[in-house]
């Protein structure tokens, strides 16, 4: 059984955890507690309210919004033409600024959502979608294989699953494990106990599925082939403060920092905190290696 948040964060005296036994307590160390966004802290434990506050933060934090825009541009560039695009976990985002006709979905009824649904039970006909896109969502899905089986079912042949999710490198492991507030365990199974959509997760899920257990993934889902991967986001996410912390750089520094990150690209497997991966559905015979 997956341990509670309290059990997960107790063993880290390095950051002096203050986690309580309920989701209403934010699992982050004392050294970061005083920096945590006050509005987010106030609604913590209420998934819908957290989503709404996240949207407000994203709309009012220019340097962070620039980073998310970079993610969306990369996702939009990978889209296949000729059919509908479904975005999963749309709440709080702005992907439709880059693909206006995308179907916005979420588990929560929040403004801007077209379809309220569970990613493991998609309300679409077999072969009816051309693309499924998701940013920062995969690590919240309690059973990724069940989800990818649904993707395989609803995608047309040649359709794509386009994913942006945390990646665990030697550098990002320290950040995700000891500073970030979400659970991170690269040694865990790829399935975890189902709970609250935003509160229960494993940041290492994409790394587990597409690195540690890639052979198992290919065996279970032979028709979903990896078409493209990219590893990026070294220091910039930390410098923007993300949703939870204040930005450490002004908006005008975003461009110069990104130039530095591109120069450091040869070190991406050591420094990356984000995995961008594109899966493509092939015929029953598995036409692509």
Measured torsion, CA atoms of residues 7, 10, 11, 16, in degrees rounded to the nearest 10? 160
Tokens 């290919």 — which residue? 218
> Looking at residue 210, what is its pLDDT?
98
| pLDDT of 289 above 70 | no
CATH class in words for 36-281: alpha beta
Q: What is the rounded CA–CA span in Å between residue 26 and residue 44? A: 7
Q: Where are the domains of the chain?
A: 36-281
pLDDT at 24: 41
Q: What are phi and psi of 55, to 5 degrees?
A: -65, -40
**Among 33-37, 83-87, 257-261, whose mean pLDDT is lowest?**
33-37
- pLDDT beyond 70 at 82: yes
| Backbone φ and ψ of 276, nearest 5° | -110, 120
On the question of pLDDT at 22 being above 60, the answer is: no
pTM for this entry: 0.88
- Local confidence band at 36 (pLDDT 50, 70, 90 cut-offs): confident
pLDDT at 6 over 50: no
Mean pLDDT of the residues in the chain = 88
User: Across residues 128-139, what is the average pLDDT?
Assistant: 98
pLDDT at 193: 84
Question: pLDDT (tens digit, 9 = 90+) per residue, 189-248?
Answer: 999 888 777 778 999 999 999 999 999 999 999 999 999 999 999 999 999 999 999 999
Q: According to the model, what pLDDT value does residue 225 have?
A: 98
**Residue pair 283/152 in contact by the 8 Å Cβ criterion:** no
The per-residue pLDDT for 135 is 98
Does residue 285 surpass a pLDDT of 60? no
**Strands ordered across the beta sheet of 115-116:** 115-116, 103-106, 85-88, 129-135, 155-166, 274-281, 224-232
Q: What is the mean pLDDT of residues 19-46?
A: 65
67 has a pLDDT exceeding 90: yes
Residue closest to 158 by CA, chosen among 78, 267, 64, 56: 78
11 vs 183: CA distance, rounded Å: 13
pLDDT tens-digit series, residues 111-127:
999 999 999 999 999 99
Per-residue burial over 108-135, b = 16 or more CB atoms within 10 Å of its CB, e = otherwise: bebeebeeebbbbebebeeeebbbbbbb
N-terminal to C-terminal alpha carbon distance within the chain: 36
């Amino acid at each position: 059984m997956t341990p509670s948040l309290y059990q997960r964060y107790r063993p880290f005296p390095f950051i002096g955890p203050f986690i309580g036994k309920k989701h209403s307590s934010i699992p982050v160390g004392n050294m970061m507690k005083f920096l945590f966004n006050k509005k987010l802290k106030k609604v913590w434990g209420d998934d819908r309210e957290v989503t709404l506050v996240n949207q407000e933060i994203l709309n009012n934090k220019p340097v962070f919004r620039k980073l998310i825009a970079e993610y969306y541009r990369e996702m939009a560039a990978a889209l296949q033409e000729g059919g509908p695009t479904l975005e999963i976990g749309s709440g709080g985002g702005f992907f439709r600024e880059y693909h206006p006709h995308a179907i916005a979905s979420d588990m929560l009824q929040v403004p801007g959502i077209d379809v309220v649904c569970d990613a493991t039970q998609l309300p679409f006909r077999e072969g009816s979608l051309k693309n499924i896109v998701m940013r920062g969502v995969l690590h919240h899905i309690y059973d990724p294989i069940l989800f990818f089986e649904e993707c395989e079912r609803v995608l047309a042949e040649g359709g794509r699953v386009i994913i942006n999710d945390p990646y665990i490198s030697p550098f990002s492991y320290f950040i995700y494990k000891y500073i970030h507030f979400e659970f991170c365990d690269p040694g865990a199974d790829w399935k975890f106990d189902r709970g609250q959509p935003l509160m229960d997760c494993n940041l290492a899920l994409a790394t587990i599925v597409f690195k540690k257990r890639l052979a198992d993934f290919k065996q279970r889902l032979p028709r979903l082939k990896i078409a493209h991967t990219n590893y990026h986001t070294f220091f910039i996410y930390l410098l923007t403060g993300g949703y939870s912390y204040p930005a450490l750089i002004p908006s005008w520094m975003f461009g110069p920092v990104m130039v530095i990150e591109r120069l450091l690209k040869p070190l991406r497997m050591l420094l990356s905190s984000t995995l961008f991966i594109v899966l493509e559905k092939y015929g029953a015979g598995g036409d692509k290696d």
